[in-house]
């Protein structure tokens, strides 16, 4: 057994106990901290379904060694949501535009687009495409996701 360590996720400190220190942040979030919103797709940084924000930077949770992220400020898709059932502007736009089919890629896309809109409030379609180029969706063909991104940008500026 190894020493426990602490991760700061969505503003709360979580103790990780009796864990193998080689576990990825994705595994620890899902299997140890009860935060299954980040999805385990490829586990090699190709699909973006596990996208999280670490110290203000969009990263794949599968490529982060959890025990090396002690002291980092980690935000998952669950942390974007002020309360359960209370969706963010980006999530509302996904629903309104029908940007969800099977839904597996959706949390990663929501995190990636939230990150983009925080930096670029009115992105062009090209900027949206580049921002989600690391997030694979095999259902939608992306058209409705691009529409949702623009709808979210508009809704945010109307607020």
Find out whether 45 and 63 touch, Cβ atoms under 8 Å.
yes
The residue (of 41 and 79) whose beta carbon lies closer to other proteins is 41
Shortest Cβ distance from residue 62 to other proteins (Å)?
Answer: 6
Shortest Cβ distance from residue 85 to other proteins (Å)?
Answer: 28
Binding site for other proteins (CB under 8 A): 2, 20-22, 24, 43-46, 48, 51, 57-60, 62-65, 67-72, 112, 115, 130-131, 133-135
Q: What is the CA radius of gyration of the chain?
A: 16
Shortest Cβ distance from residue 140 to other proteins (Å)?
Answer: 17
Scanning 44-88, the segments in alpha helix (DSSP H) are 77-80
The residue (of 36 and 96) whose beta carbon lies closer to other proteins is 36
The residue (of 111 and 153) whose beta carbon lies closer to other proteins is 111
Scanning 40-133, the segments in alpha helix (DSSP H) are 77-80, 89-97, 106-119, 125-131
The residue (of 70 and 95) whose beta carbon lies closer to other proteins is 70
Shortest Cβ distance from residue 44 to other proteins (Å)?
Answer: 4
Alpha-carbon span 91 to 101, nearest angstrom: 14
Identify the bridge partners of residue 41 per DSSP, sorted by sequence position.
none
Q: Of the candidates 71, 109, 64, which has an alpha carbon nearest to the alpha carbon of residue 90? A: 109
CA 100 to chain centroid: 15
């Amino acid at each position: 057994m190894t020493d426990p360590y602490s991760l700061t996720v969505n503003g709360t400190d979580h103790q990780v106990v009796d864990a193998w220190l080689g576990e990825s942040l994705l595994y620890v979030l899902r299997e140890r901290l009860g935060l299954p919103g980040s999805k385990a797709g490829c586990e090699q940084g190709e699909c973006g379904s596990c996208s999280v924000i670490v110290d203000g930077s969009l990263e794949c949770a599968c490529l982060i060694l959890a025990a090396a992220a002690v002291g980092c400020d980690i935000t998952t898709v669950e942390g974007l949501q002020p309360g359960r059932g209370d969706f963010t502007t980006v999530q509302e736009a996904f629903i309104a535009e029908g940007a969800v089919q099977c839904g597996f890629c959706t949390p990663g896309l929501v995190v990636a687009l939230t990150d983009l809109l925080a930096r670029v409030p009115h992105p062009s379609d090209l900027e949206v495409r580049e921002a989600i180029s690391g997030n694979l969706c095999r259902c939608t063909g992306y058209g409705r996701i691009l529409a949702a991104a623009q709808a979210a940008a508009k809704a945010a500026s109307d607020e």
